[in-house]
Each structure stands twice: as structure tokens, then as C-alpha cells.
Structure 1
Amino acid sequence: MLTFIKHTPFLAWLVLGYWLSSCQSETIQFTTDPVALPDSTNELRMKVSFDLNQEAEAYVAFWVKDKPDQKYYSPLSPVGRSHYMSLVGLKGITTYEYQVIARNEKTENSSDIQTFTTEKFPINVLHLRWDEEKVAGLDGYILSQRRMVNGIIYLIDQDGDVVWYQSVPKQPKLSHWTDKDRVLVLYGAAKHRNSSGDQIVEYDLLGNELFHLDLSKLNEPLEAHHEVRYNEEGNLLALVYEFQKHDLSKVGGSPDQQVMGDKIVKMDTTGQVLWSWSIFDYLNPALDSTILKTAEDWSHANSLSIDQDGNYLISFRNFNQVWKIDAQSGDVFWKLGEGGNIAVDSSGYFYGQHAFHINPEGSYQVFDNGRKERQTRIVTYQIEESNKTADIKKIIELPEDLYCDKMGSAYLMNNDNLLICAPRTNSLVVVNPAGEVLSRARVGIPDPYRAEYVPQLYDLSHVR
């Protein structure tokens, strides 16, 4: 009994010590302060490293030093004790503050606020100047490309600043944002046509080349143009050129005259063609009264997109039409435009159009280059497939100095403004729903083929 009484204080301290250590172990602690270092491969990326006393996931909040209310966030890192995270979407020559948030099922903790300063990025990335140094109406990000011999793809943020770029070995003909937050690029050499190439590559935001397909080395080499994208199954869809010889003697041509048309191919990432569709199976060039003028580029398909039901929407610039094609059988559901089988008011006809797609509101939208009247417009439609009719929902006419006879695109932004690429005027433009120009950037030569709207760079559902 005396022994028990004598050792009671010792046991109490032992229990108290164990309780304190248990409580302490449940609290996430930073055993090393976060350190930010430049990425040696790209001036607009930083690497943040730190260690924790226990397993936890983490993300980084960061902001321009004098703009603490405009915060950005990194992706969520995997659970672990040692973390090495990359920050993307950074402006050049800018001081940032940042804080790490670490958490697990039991607890959460934040680091002290730290700072880093980014470096200047190469001048050849982009020559871009916003009119009157005023930028309004931007939302999310803009993805586009500079088609130099050794080209660049880039992202611009809502402030109008370049915040990401990736060098491309040759000329980037087009870039497309995927549903996996990656960039799919078609590039080629100067010998290729303006919007065509033979290299398809996919980059992530860290600059890793995730996939590369050389179309020139396939058993049947292909030259893709204007469009490359993934379908829901993860296969590649591309527009490719197709050459056939046709008897055009009855219209003044030769009996074996070569005609260049268009083909849709679906292929896996090894280049194996799984399905194809050819314009020659649905139209006879010998019956086209203008074929002698267009034989070298007969149909000129310039966009391919996927409708909500999984079928394909293909734009033929030289026909001034868009066709909807069954993704399985290849049957043509309908043709929209002058001479098509969708009944629509003639004010809804388009000429030299680009970037036909279904927008987030569920309307069909087209960038009407307006080559007939020299008036570039954005037109949206509601199409009733059951009776093959289309109602015109809205027409936005662009100012005369944005007339664009070739190339171009228009995409709806989350704030209901429209992102316009008008390459022939070397312009990226944002207009409001009334068509008023809110901002305009003059981009350097060579001009971009198109510009896509990117709402956000990656999933941010982990941010509380």
C-alpha cells in the first residue's frame, strides 16, 4: 500500500506524458518549412517541397503579393510525409506569397506564409499587347498557339498575362484542351499546308510528353489537318486529307484528275485506324460544277466536333455547310447551310465558316467568317432533328475591323462573354452577349489558327 502511494505521482506523470504525446502525434506538424525553387525547364513553374510529421495530403494556396484576394490553388498531392509539388499558372517576373495546407482525416494545419519570385520568360513565347492596356470581360484561361518554325503553345489568364507555355519542335498547327486537363497538339513542318501536320502529341501542364504519334511512319501515312481530339473512349479523332482520281473530262478536266477531299479517321494511340468516313462516299466531285476550281482542295473540312449524342459534326468550308454524321454507320443525319436539308432562314446561312460545335448552353454555334458579305458573325441555332428545322437564337456581328475571311473561332465563356480568335486581324477578342468588344489583344505574326476557352486548369474540388 505504501509502495502504491509512493509511486502514484510517477504513474500520473507517465499517463499525462503519454496523453500529451498522443495529442501531439495527432496534430500535423511541418518538420521542414516549405521551400519554393524554380523549375529548371520552365520559368513559369515552381517546385515546392516540405516534410510532415505524419501521413497527410496537401495543396498550396498562392497569390500575387499585392493581390491577396485573388488566390490560386495547386492540385491535391497524394498522401505522404515528404511532398514535392509543382505550381503552374504563374506570371513572369512576379513575387508571390504562398501557404501550404496539409490535412488528413483527423486534423489540418497550415504553414507559415512564404514568398517566391518568378523569372522572366523568353520573349519569343508571345508578342501580345492589349489595346489601351485595358482588359475586361476575361474569365478562366485562353489556349492558343504561335505557329513559328519552332513554335509555342500558351495559356493566358483572366488578367491577360501569359501564365503557361510549352515549346514545340516544329510548327504547332492547332492546340486543343482535353477533358483530362491536358493539351493535344498537332504540329508539322513548314512544308505542310497551313493547318496540317503529321505529329500528334499530348502534354500535361508540367510539360511532360504523355503521348506522341508520328503519322508519317504508319503503314499508310496520314496528314492530319484542322482538328485532332479524343472521343469518350479515349480514341483519337482526326481530319485527314484523302486523294482520289476521278474522270472530270465531261466538265473540261482530265479522265484521271486528282481530287483532294477529306476523311474522318478514328484511331487508337498506336495509329491503328478503327473507323473512317470519306466525303467521296457521299458526294461525286464530277457532279460539282465548280470542281475544276476546287479540285486541289475540294471540300476543305475545317472542324470536327462531337455532338451531345456522340455523333460527329463536320464543317466543310468550301460547301458552306455543316454535316452531322452517325459515328457508327457513317450515315449523314443532316446538312445545315445553304443547299442543306435543315430548313433555316437564309439569314442563318454562313460562308467560309469555322469552329462549329455545340456550346455549354446546348445550342449549336458557328464562327461565320462571312466571306459572301464580308461580315464576320457568331451565329447560334436550336435544331429540331425530328423535323429538320433550325431556329436562329442569336446573331452577333463583329466590327468591320475584325472581318476574318479565313480561320478563326468563337467559344462561350462561363461569364456569358464570347472569346473570339480573328487570326487575319491578328486579334484575340472578348465580346459581351450584345457584341460589344470588351477587350482586344494584338498578337504577333505568325497568327494563331484559333483560341480555345479553358474554364480552369485542373480539378479544385479539394479546396475548402
Structure 2
Amino acid sequence: MFSKINRSRIFVIGIMIIVICVNACNDYVFSTFKNISLNETADGNSLRVAVQFSCAKPEDAYIEYWLNGQKDKLNATPVSKQRSDFKIVLTNLKFNSTYQYRIVSGNGGVRFESEIYTFKTKDVPDQLLGLYHVNLQNEQELPTEFKAGSMLVYNRETPGCIGMIDFQGTLRWYQRFHNTGVKVAHFTQNKTILSILAPMDYPTSYGNEILELSLTGDTIFHLKKGVMDFKQTIHHEILLNAKNQYVTLSADEKLIDLRAVGGKEADTVKGDGILVLDKSGKKIWSWSVFEALDPLKEKNILKEAKDWMHANSLFIDTDGNYIISFYNNGQIWKVNATNKKVMWKFGKGGDFALPKGAEFDQGHAVHINSRRNLVLFDNGTSKKRSQILVFDLNPVSKRISLKLQTQLHEGTFTDRMGSAYLINDSTILTCVSKQNQVFLINKNGKVFWSMMCANTPYRVEFIPFSKSKPYIGAL
């Protein structure tokens, strides 16, 4: 980042140059990195430490650090620009390990270094012991892409936690919560973690808080239900759009006269919606399933009024429109983010004719992958066998082609929750929630790797190191 200064030439440089260098930020020769201290972060996180120091005048600075005896595997923090007082958090650390570090600063292409200091990280917190057990039989069979990333996991019960785990089962990052569970979490394009939180009196994937954290542990955004335009319970999904606005699924209730179908004059029908909030908590946009369907025309509305559609995933397509999946009717919709119209319906009774044998019961973790294919985890409740499906949809002709159909082994089944994400063209990371298991499989369902979870995982996302570094990368 800065070219190395040749210190052997310092003594032949004129007095004027020496005076200029004294004003630079260097403890060793030129000036002083003052008040250097290394401290725990405020939450006592074992995988984060904070280096604080000051300079005589504004400087660009960063930290280089490495495991003791492994200077060839150098880590570097992002550059903090033009500051006099610094607090730089080190991440990508290992538990109970000794590290060395130095402060690096410079302006105008000249690099200055502090002395080298040493610290040791703490051990794994007791709360996190025994949560995840990896079965790794043959590392050589694992794709390179899988070994170059981590998995995002979280605990929905109280006390909650969010973690990122590598293929060896090593916890690479974590955040603990004392009085709340993590209902869902998502890694964003800004290298932050966005989550829905709630205490135990909220059911399953429903919550009353939005929290966005940086990978250095700073709170980027925190909003509780009842503040600003956050009036509804939210659930199942929380995303960050291209405008850095928060997009989530919301619970939407209406009093409907259901006497025509044998109900009451003022029956409560619980539906779903999409809510978009800006950084101040102001509502930017919303949509409700009541805008697209009339409950009175639904044949099972009396039976399903307490949970009419049960939206369970949301995805922002590249065109900015929304793809939303519903558990109860087995459909996936695309909703226009401008005019709120349903652009198409896919699944049972939808606009596309499914190929024979490619029918699905419910879709979870529905998304469009890098090849513009629609990927879903099908719970498979009718057959008591879950599967992963990948489709190529033509929204104009309403034709589809089945690109991938992978059935999980007989007996591997979850009637709720679950996820599937392609790691490369031939391997899939799939979460079988009700069995507390995560698998890496090939297209034929062969298991290469597995992880048993002490808690019930809602989903497990895969985050390549290319998206999380320098905060989380190879060790």
C-alpha cells in the first residue's frame, strides 16, 4: 500500500527533510504513534481485538498482523484515511492463538512502520461449544470453492447468536445476543450481516427488531417495532436493496366479512406483505397479498385464515422486482416493485406448465442464481422426501425447462424450513432443518460433507471469502 522507505539513506538527507519527517506519524524514527493500546471489543468477542493509537496530524494508517511464526501469511486491515485518532478492529483471528502486529502509516507514497507488538486471543466462549459438528471424511473430494468460504448460521432461540463456520467446522466469526434470538440473518453486498431479532414469545421466524452489523462488530442500523414506520411484525426475510434500503416480509392482518363462506362478520385474516424502509425507518414502499387476491374467493379461507398464505422467502431480482414464495399454496410469484402487479405465478395452479415429475409441494429459500435460473428447496411433504430443483423460466412464453432435480436420500426430509445453494456447477449446500443437518452433495445426492447442528437451522448460506475478505478470509 505504501512503498518501503530505505532507512539506510536517512542520515545523508538534509536537516530540512529530517524536520519534515519528524512531523510524520512514526514512532521508530520520525515521530510518534502515541497512546498505543490493544483492548477487547466492548462485547468481549474472542475473535475481535481493537488497536487504538493517535498521530500528531491526520494520516492514512492500517494494521498488519499475523500468527506468531507465520509472517508469510500476513493479514491487513482496510486503510483508515486521514485521521489523528484511530481505533482499528482486527478480525480473521483464531481462538487461543498468539499474534504479532504493527501499525503502518504514510502519505505521498512513503511507508512508516511501528514496532512489532504481540497479543493472544481468548478461547471459545462456553456458550458456543458443541453447537456444530462436522463430518469431514475426505477433504480431497471437496470442491475448491467450498474450502474458500464460510457458512452463515444462527440460533433462533434465546440466547441467540450468529456465526460463520468454515468447512472444517472452525468458527471464523460470531456475535452473541443475551435476551433475543436470531430469526433470520443474511450476508449483504456491503459486507455486513443483516438480521431479524425477537425474544422467545415471537413464533419461529417472526421478529420485532432489525439489526445490521459490520464484520468488525459495529452497529450499522438498529430499529425496533413501534419506532418510525416499523409498525408490523416482520418475518422470514431481511434484505438490503441497491439503494441501501431494508426489504422484509411483513405480517398483514385484515378484518373480513366471511359470512358468505360460513365465517363471521368480522373475521381476522392473516396475510403477508413486503415492506421497504430507509435508513431512518421511514416506509418507502409496501405491498400486500390482499392487493392481489380476494380472501372470499379462496376455497380454504376459513381453515387458513390464521395463516392464509405463509410467505417464507423473498428475493430481489436483478431488475429490482420481487420474487416471493408461499408455503400454503405452493406458489412462487414475481411482484412488480413499481406498480405492485403480480407479473407471474409459478408452481401449483400457476402460469407455467411444470414438466412431469418436476412438480413441487413447497418452495423455501427461493432465489435466482448467477446463471439466471430459479433455485428452490422443496420440502416434499407429499412424498416425505425433500429435493432441490433448478428451473429456467421464460416469462414471455411461459415455458420452462428443468435444469436440475436432486432428491435427497430417502429418509432425509424436512416438512418446514430448509435451503439449497449451488456452490459450483456440480455441488449443492443444502440445509435439512428439522433433522438439524447440513450437507454438501453432488447432483446425484451423494454426500461429500455434513454438519450436525445442536439447534434447528432455518437456512445455511454460503459466503465465499472473495465477498467477506479482508474481514474473513483464508487463515
TM-score tier (shorter): 0.7 to 0.9
Matched, 1:360 2:379: no
Partner of 2:133: 129
Q: Judging changes above 3 Å, is the alpha-carbon distance between structure 1 residues 401 and 26 closer, same or farther for their aligned structure 2 residues?
A: farther
Shift of 1:237: 1.5
The residue type paired with residue 44 of structure 1 is L
Compared CA separation, residues 359 and 69, structure 1 to 2 (3 A): farther
The answer to whether the Cα contact below 8 Å between 2:156 and 2:204 also exists between their aligned partners in 1 is no
What is the one-letter code of the residue matched to 2:381? R
| 1:186-197 alignment runs, 5 A limit | 186-197=196-207
| CA-to-aligned-CA distance 1:86-108 (integer Å, 9 cap, x gap) | 11132322234556554544234
1:90 to 65, 86, 93: 93
After superposition, where does 1:144-183 map in structure 2 within 5 Å? 144-168=153-177, 169-183=179-193
Instruction: Report deviation, 1:224.
Output: 0.4
Please give the per-residue CA displacement for 1:358-402, whole angstroms capped at 9, x wherever unaligned. 122322211112222222222222211221222111122222353
| Equivalent residues, number | 448
Partner secondary structure for residue 400 of structure 1: coil
Displacement of 1:60: 3.8
Distance (whole Å) between structure 2 residues aligned to residue 193 and residue 432 of structure 1: 34
Partner of 2:240: 230
Match in the other structure for 1:74: 77
Q: Give the aligned partner of residue 328 of structure 1.
A: 338
CA RMSD in angstroms comes to 3.4
For residues 423-442 of structure 1, what are the structure 2 equivalents within 5 Å? 423-432=433-442, 435-442=445-452
C-alpha distance 117-334 of structure 1, shift in aligned 2 (>3 A): same
Comparing 207-216 with 196-205, which one deviates more in the overlay? 207-216
Work out the percentage of aligned pairs sharing the same amino acid: 31
The CA deviation at 1:236 is 1.9
Which amino acid counterpart does residue 94 of structure 2 have in structure 1?
K
Structure 1, unpaired ranges of 5+: 1-13
Distance 1:112 1:263, change over 3 A: same
- Match among 181, 190, 208 for residue 198 of structure 1: 208
* CA displacement, residues 1-42 of structure 1 (integer Å, 9 cap, x when unaligned): xxxxxxxxxxxxx98644884897799855379875443521
**2:47 partner SS:** strand
- Structure 2 stretches of 5 or more lacking a match? 1-10
When structure 1 is superposed on structure 2, of 280-289 and 184-193 the one drifting more is 280-289
Asked whether the 8 Å contact 1:413–1:455 carries over to 2, the reply is no
Q: Give me the whole-angstrom Cα distance separating, in 2, the residues matched to 1:402 and 1:455.
A: 27
Residue 314 of structure 1: how far off its partner (Å)? 0.4
Matched with 1:378 is 388
Q: 1:119/1:289 Cα in 2 relative to 1: closer, same or farther (>3 Å)?
A: same
Amino acid at match of 1:143: L
Match of 1:293 in 2: 303
CA contact (8 A) 1:338 1:346 kept: no
TM-score, L = length of structure 2? 0.83
3-state SS in 2 of match to 1:191: coil
Q: Quick one: distance in 2 between partners of 1:62 and 1:103?
A: 17
Q: Comparing 165-174 with 154-163, which one deviates more in the overlay?
A: 154-163
Question: Secondary structure in 1 aligned to 2:305?
Answer: helix
Q: d(CA) in 2 for partners of 1:374 and 1:66?
A: 53
Cα distance in structure 1, aligned partners of 2:448 and 2:106: 42
**Secondary structure, in 3 states, of the residue corresponding to 1:149?**
coil
Q: How does 1:8-47 map onto structure 2 within 5 Å?
A: 17-18=14-15, 21=18, 30-31=27-28, 36-39=38-41, 41=43, 42-47=45-50
* 1:8 corresponding residue in structure 2: none
CA drift at 1:72: 4.1
Q: Per-residue deviation at 1:70?
A: 5.6
Residue 147 of structure 2 aligns to a residue in which SS?
coil
Structure number with bigger Rg: 1
> Is 1:451 matched with 2:455?
no
CA drift at 1:324: 0.4
- CA distance in structure 2 between the aligned counterparts of 1:415 and 1:26, rounded to whole angstroms: 56
The CA deviation at 1:424 is 0.9
